[in-house]
Amino acid sequence: MRRRSDFSSEMPGDLPVDDALAPFAEEVRFAVSGPPPVPSESLAAVLTAGFSGISPTEKGDLLVTAASNVHGPAPQVAGLPNWKEETDMPITGFFTAALAKLAGAGSAAKAALAGVTAVTTMAMAGGAAGVLPGPAQTLVASAVNAATPFEFPGAGGATATAGQAVGNVPAQLPVPVAVPDVPAASATAGAKAGSTSASASASTSAPANATPPSVVPSLPGVPGVPGLPQVTVPAAVSNLVNGMPACVKNLIPASGTPDPTKLAAQIPGCITQVLGTASLPPEVAKCVSSILGTIGGASGMSTASVPSIGSLNVSSCVPMDTSTCVSAMTSLLATMPNVGGGGVPNIGNLQNLSGGGLPGLTNLAGCVPMNVTACLTSLTSAATTGTTPKLDLSACMPTGLPTSGLPGTGSLPGLSGSGLPGLSGALPFFGR
């Protein structure tokens, strides 16, 4: 390593010897003494193969006019280029890699990620209840029940406990392991509608000011992490299957645990039925099908079994900034111990979990319009300190949504046209 003083004597011969120039020259020389910068792709190709070893398009100025161009360029046939269509980030591979990393992570990290997934997923169940028309709401709840270790109440608001171990998190997370264009992060954004939407769904069968029943599902045990917190779930979704094909209702068994193999076999045909149901608005059908595709992907469904799977996207259900959300999730993963780089892009060196919460969680606002910090603080502190605070999931629900009625909601199946509190804030985004 060259020291700064090594550069002080390298003055150009004809530069005036001045006291003021010497320290400046020393700084300058040292500042530019680094290693060669990483060459660009084009230059790297030249450095490794020369100009003769690369394709003509990379050679820069052509010395001669190509024979095909002697009469000038051909007329443009295709017309003006279109704006690039918005495409969703292909995060399937990202999550697959992340899950592979997670499989080797410590239990605290698993617990933390499981907690985050749990909260966001449950927020989806509670929140999406108002985003989607009735049938879709039930499907969301069914999806959560089928794809996560949590059980949500039926009509009676029963409490159930699932026994899935967090050690199996990669197999249990509701992520589209093999289904392209159905981002799991989109599913976590289902909290957009929030608790107000949950109360909206309840308003169809209960007084508007009725307090929705809560349920306390248990989180699975994590070796080495005593007592994950209990979570209070707002009003559950229930009894809103009217208008959906029977296959949707039949996906989830009345009792027992859903069989992934059976789900993977049933879902492709069910997606086709949902998409072909004329009574469903197209975006509702797309949303529901996307959720089904997500569950199917997690259950091992073959992507080839659903011809239109590429057009499905859970983000059609919710107003989510997919890019920001994925970035936030990446940042979140980067804060977890033992989930280092080398396989997961943009994940750098990791810090140990501290009792102060996980850096980056606040940035999950790109996924959901909720107070993520308030929602997850107790959970993360539980995962890192071993305490078991009780979560109030209402903190995870979005705030500030207007509660005035929304004209036109009567056109949606399962909803009355009298104006449902909360929907006005969510529906403008629906079917984006």
Partner 1 sequence: MGTGESFELVLSAAQADEPWGYERLYRSLSPSIHGYLRIQGAADPEDLTSEVFLGAFRRIGSFAGDEAQFRSWVFTIAHRRLTDERRARGCRPAIADAPLPEWAAGDVEEEALRRLSAERVRTLCAGLAPDQADVLLLRLISGLTVEAIAEMLGKSTGAVKALQRRGVCALRKIFEREGVPL
CB count, 10 Å around CB of 293? Answer: 27
Quick check: 299 and 174 in contact, CB under 8 A? Answer: no
31 binds partner 1 (CB under 8 A): yes
Out of 8, 29, 350, 371, name the contact with partner 1 by CB under 8 A: 29
User: Which phi and psi angles does 233 have, rounded to 5°?
Assistant: -100, 130
The contact mask relative to partner 1 for 61-100 (x = CB under 8 A, - = no) is x---------------------------------------
Out of 6, 9, 33, 226, name the contact with partner 1 by CB under 8 A: 33
The contact mask relative to partner 1 for 212-241 (x = CB under 8 A, - = no) is ------------------------------
Across the chain, which distance is largest between two alpha carbons, in Å?
91
4 binds partner 1 (CB under 8 A): yes
* 377, β-bridge pairs: none
Q: Which of 19, 86 has the CB closer to partner 1?
A: 19
Residue 41 Cβ vs partner 1, minimum distance, rounded to whole Å: 9
Number of residues lying near partner 1 (CB under 8 A): 43
Out of 6, 9, 21, 428, name the contact with partner 1 by CB under 8 A: 21
- Which of 368, 276, 258 is closest to 321 using CA atoms? 368
Out of 5, 8, 9, 36, name the contact with partner 1 by CB under 8 A: 36
Out of 5, 6, 8, 18, name the contact with partner 1 by CB under 8 A: 18
Q: Helix, strand, or coil here: 232? A: strand
C-alpha to C-alpha distance for 153 and 150, rounded to whole angstroms: 10
51 binds partner 1 (CB under 8 A): yes
Residue 167 Cβ vs partner 1, minimum distance, rounded to whole Å: 37
> How does DSSP classify residue 254?
S
C-alpha to C-alpha distance for 340 and 345, rounded to whole angstroms: 10
Q: Could you tell me the two tokens for 62?
A: 């052509």
Q: How far is CA 351 from CA 164, 338, 339, in A?
A: 28, 9, 10
Residue 346 Cβ vs partner 1, minimum distance, rounded to whole Å: 14
* 231, β-bridge pairs: 391
Q: Which of 2, 71 has the CB closer to partner 1?
A: 2
Output the CA angle 147-153-154, nearest 5 degrees: 105
Q: Which of 6, 259 has the CB closer to partner 1?
A: 6
Q: Which of 52, 255 has the CB closer to partner 1?
A: 52
Q: Please identify, among the stretches 46-54, 165-173, 266-274, 409-417, the one whose residues bind partner 1 according to the rule CB under 8 A.
A: 46-54
- Which of 133, 122, 152 is closest to 204 using CA atoms? 133
155 binds partner 1 (CB under 8 A): no
Q: Please identify, among the stretches 34-42, 155-163, 189-197, 299-307, the one whose residues bind partner 1 according to the rule CB under 8 A.
A: 34-42
Out of 6, 9, 27, 90, name the contact with partner 1 by CB under 8 A: 27
C-alpha to C-alpha distance for 11 and 23, rounded to whole angstroms: 11
C-alpha to C-alpha distance for 239 and 258, rounded to whole angstroms: 19
Q: Which of 26, 151 has the CB closer to partner 1?
A: 26
- Which of 283, 386, 326 is closest to 189 using CA atoms? 326
Residue 45 Cβ vs partner 1, minimum distance, rounded to whole Å: 9
Residue 7 Cβ vs partner 1, minimum distance, rounded to whole Å: 9
Instruction: Spell out the residues 6+ positions from residue 191 whose beta carbon is closer than 8 angstroms to its own.
Output: 120, 123, 124, 126, 127, 128, 367, 368, 369, 370, 396, 397, 398
Interface ranges with partner 1 (CB under 8 A):
1-2, 4, 11-12, 14-16, 18-25, 27-40, 42-43, 46-53, 59-61
